């Protein structure tokens, strides 16, 4: 075999390898481009959902973490939870905050009745107000916050199991659009 023939064989092999690797690369590129296009469509769909939710954010905390059973006085653990939220929010607060309290559907016990609370709506209102007052004590502007109790209305789970009732006992902090 002459050196020219050997050179041609090597050059042909290299060109074939380059050509084939280019084809593989192109097919990988096409597959990645297709995946990218699909992901972009998903992002576009999510962006549409985010746009519909723009101006409202909801933060939910289980009331069992915030309050003792049958009470509206916040636990130290509950204060820590709300304080961590407040540290991020209060320094730049420009939005209205609505604190919403919810309970399960269990009847009010005798201890709460002795304290003047006769309904779940009243208990949820007192809990929402306790969170609101704590938020104010942590630097949230009082003119930009309100509290509302909903009692056992608007459950997020069935009230026929302990787990469902626990999910329904909650406090929601909703951030609305900028205050005017």
Predicted confidence (pLDDT) per residue in 102-124, tens digit = 999 999 999 999 999 999 999 99
Q: Which residues pair with 153 in a beta bridge?
A: none
What does the H/E/C string look like for 156-167?
A: CCCCCCHHHHHH
Domain extents for the chain?
Answer: 1-54, 57-178
Q: Which residues pair with 105 in a beta bridge?
A: none
Q: Is the pTM of this model over 0.75?
A: no
Bigger pLDDT: 48 vs 92: 92
Q: Rounded distance, CA 141 to CA 129, Å?
A: 14
In this prediction, residue 17 carries a pLDDT of 46
In this prediction, residue 66 carries a pLDDT of 92
Q: Rounded distance, CA 34 to CA 96, Å?
A: 43
Predicted confidence (pLDDT) per residue in 26-72, tens digit = 676 676 667 656 655 554 444 333 333 455 677 888 999 999 888 99
Best CATH choice for the domain 57-178 from the list 3.40.50.300, 3.30.1330.60, 3.40.50.2300, 3.30.1340.30: 3.30.1330.60
81 closest CA partner among 105, 102, 111, 60:
60
């Amino acid at each position: 075999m002459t050196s020219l023939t050997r050179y041609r064989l090597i050059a042909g092999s290299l060109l074939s390898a380059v050509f084939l690797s280019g084809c593989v690369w192109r097919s990988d590129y096409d597959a990645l481009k297709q995946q990218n296009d699909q992901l972009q469509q998903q992002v576009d769909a999510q962006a549409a959902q985010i746009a519909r939710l723009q101006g409202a954010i909801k933060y939910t905390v289980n009331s069992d973490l915030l309050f003792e059973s049958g009470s509206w006085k916040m636990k130290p653990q509950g204060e820590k939870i709300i304080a961590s939220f407040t540290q991020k929010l209060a320094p730049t607060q420009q939005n209205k905050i609505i604190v919403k309290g919810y309970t399960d559907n269990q009847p009010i016990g005798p201890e709460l009745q002795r304290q003047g609370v006769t309904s779940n709506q009243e208990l949820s209102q007192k809990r929402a107000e306790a969170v609101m007052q704590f938020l104010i004590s942590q630097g949230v502007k009082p003119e930009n916050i309100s509290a509302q109790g909903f009692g056992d209305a608007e459950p997020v789970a069935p009230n026929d199991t302990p787990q469902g009732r626990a999910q329904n006992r909650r406090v929601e902090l909703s951030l609305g659009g900028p205050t005017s």
